[in-house]
Amino acid sequence: MLTCPTCKELLVRKNSKLGFFWVCPLCKGRAMALGVVKKRVPKRMVNILWQRARADRHGDGKTCPACRRQMTEVPIVSGQRTEYLDVCSGCHFIWFDPHEFESLPKSAEAMVLETQPISDKGKEALALARLETVKKMQIDQEAHETSPESWIDVAGAYMGIPIEYNSMPLKHRPIVTCLLAGVIAIVSLATFLNLESAVKNWGLIPAEFGRHLGLTFVTSFFLHGGLIHLLGNVYYLITFGDNSEDVLGKGRYLLLIAAASLAGDIAHVISDPGSTIPCVGASGGISGVMAYYCLRFPKASMDFVVFFHWICLPVGVMFALWVALQIIEFMMQPAGIAGVAVFAHLGGAAVGVLFWLWDRYSLSTTN
């Protein structure tokens, strides 16, 4: 839960035409994400405010209501007054004391950041921050810096679901991703009427992988062991698939999913060729999409709620933790503690890494 840095009271979530923000019921201060503030204040001015906060040449500010780290107090001049805004460079929150947000100008000409002598170290840090912003705009086409703005995202995060943060703007509609997610959902829901029979007949069994002329390599992709299994896979497919499809194109994106799913199935069969337990789920293909996404969009992040605190992890860190989790689950399987198709996940992820390398090679040869 978010806490007021002044009164230590729990903040109350509010909705407005700008989006989500949190208000202290006592002092009326508010916490807002950078993406929401940009809807009210010119983006250029917010970017400069963010660069100054990243340079960290100003004094320490209040405690961040989300991550509890020390915020940076950045002075701005608005009319005849100087306001001191507290900016958290970790979770991209800005804290506004009462009436500070209302006093912000709506035009770029009306707001001038306070100019003070900058030390050599501060100039260097500011230049690096500006360079990072420019590179981000060029490479990622102005990735949006927004934190969850809908109650669905917030509710999902508190249920343990990671929320995509700093997602890349899409140039095309993710038609393939949506269609594939819809087909998976329809087929899986239909089989829930007689799940045991469907899994037994059409799931991938390593000891009998040639059943139905090998079609179980395909049919097992669309089957799931339960509603939670289905919802999780569909969610991750949509989360990581839309941007991957956008940059790969429909053909190469489908090739990625098919190759990752096949590689995952083969890895699963090789890992335990005598097993008679059916394996179902789209996890192998989705693992390939996730691996590609995490490597292709390193600036993206995922929001998690841990013990009522928001944590924002770069997708590269999240991917490394996911690989470590697969290894731990593999080590626990001989003791009968886990039952996840680890090699199907890792086999699919390996294909995602190969597609990323192929992507890099293609870009380098065309430049």
Is the pLDDT at 306 greater than 70? The verdict is no
pLDDT digits 0-9 by tens, 103-123: 776 644 334 343 445 556 655
Of 92-101, 133-142, 165-174, 340-349, the poorest mean pLDDT is in: 133-142
Q: Does 361 lie in the same domain as 231?
A: yes
Residue 109 confidence (pLDDT):
39
Q: Does 332 lie in the same domain as 197?
A: yes
Is the pLDDT at 145 greater than 70? The verdict is no
Is the pLDDT at 365 greater than 70? The verdict is no
pTM: 0.58
DSSP label of 186:
H
How far is Cα 295 from Cα 355, in angstroms, rounded to an integer?
10
- Give the mean model confidence (pLDDT) for residues 168-187: 90
For the chain, the domain total comes to 2
Is the pLDDT at 289 greater than 50? The verdict is yes
Cα distances (angstroms) measured from residue 59 to each of 50, 130, 155, 259? 15, 20, 35, 53
- Give the mean model confidence (pLDDT) for residues 236-247: 91
How far is Cα 248 from Cα 65, in angstroms, rounded to an integer?
39
Q: Is 3 contained in some domain?
A: no
Q: Does 155 lie in the same domain as 135?
A: no
- Which residues sit opposite 88 in a β-bridge? 93
Q: Is 2 contained in some domain?
A: no
Q: Does 211 lie in the same domain as 157?
A: yes
Q: Does 77 lie in the same domain as 155?
A: no
Q: Does 155 lie in the same domain as 235?
A: yes
Domain end marker among 112, 140, 168: 140
Q: Does 124 lie in the same domain as 172?
A: no
Q: Does 160 lie in the same domain as 211?
A: yes
Q: Does 248 lie in the same domain as 113?
A: no
Q: Does 226 lie in the same domain as 171?
A: yes
- Give the mean model confidence (pLDDT) for residues 238-243: 91
Domain end marker among 98, 117, 140: 140
Confidence of residue 310 (pLDDT cuts 50, 70, 90): low
pLDDT digits 0-9 by tens, 312-359: 778 888 889 889 988 888 777 654 444 568 889 999 999 999 999 988
Q: What is the CATH number of the domain that holds 211?
A: 1.20.1540.10
Nearest Cα to Cα of residue 246 among 179, 180, 301, 177: 177
- Which residues sit opposite 81 in a β-bridge? 78
**Sign of torsion over alpha carbons 262, 267, 272, 277:** negative
- End-to-end CA, the chain: 47
Q: Is 5 contained in some domain?
A: no
Q: Is 345 contained in some domain?
A: yes
* Domain residue limits at 186: 151-366
Domain end marker among 140, 168, 183: 140
Q: Which residue has the higher pLDDT, 95 or 332?
A: 95
Q: What percent of the chain has pLDDT over 90?
A: 33
Residue 81 confidence (pLDDT):
66
131 φ, ψ to 5°?
-60, -40
Residue 123 confidence (pLDDT):
58
Q: Is 1 contained in some domain?
A: no
Is the pLDDT at 134 greater than 60? The verdict is no
Confidence of residue 285 (pLDDT cuts 50, 70, 90): very high
Q: Does 219 lie in the same domain as 108?
A: no
- Give the mean model confidence (pLDDT) for residues 152-156: 56
Cα distances (angstroms) measured from residue 149 to each of 21, 141, 144, 145, 164? 8, 21, 12, 11, 11
Q: Does 156 lie in the same domain as 90?
A: no
Residue 120 confidence (pLDDT):
63
Contact 281, 233 (CB under 8 A): yes
Please state the three-class secondary structure of 282-343 as a single string: CHHHHHHHHHHHHHHCCCCEEEEEECCEEEEEEHHHHHHHHHHHHHHHHHHHHHCCCCCCHH
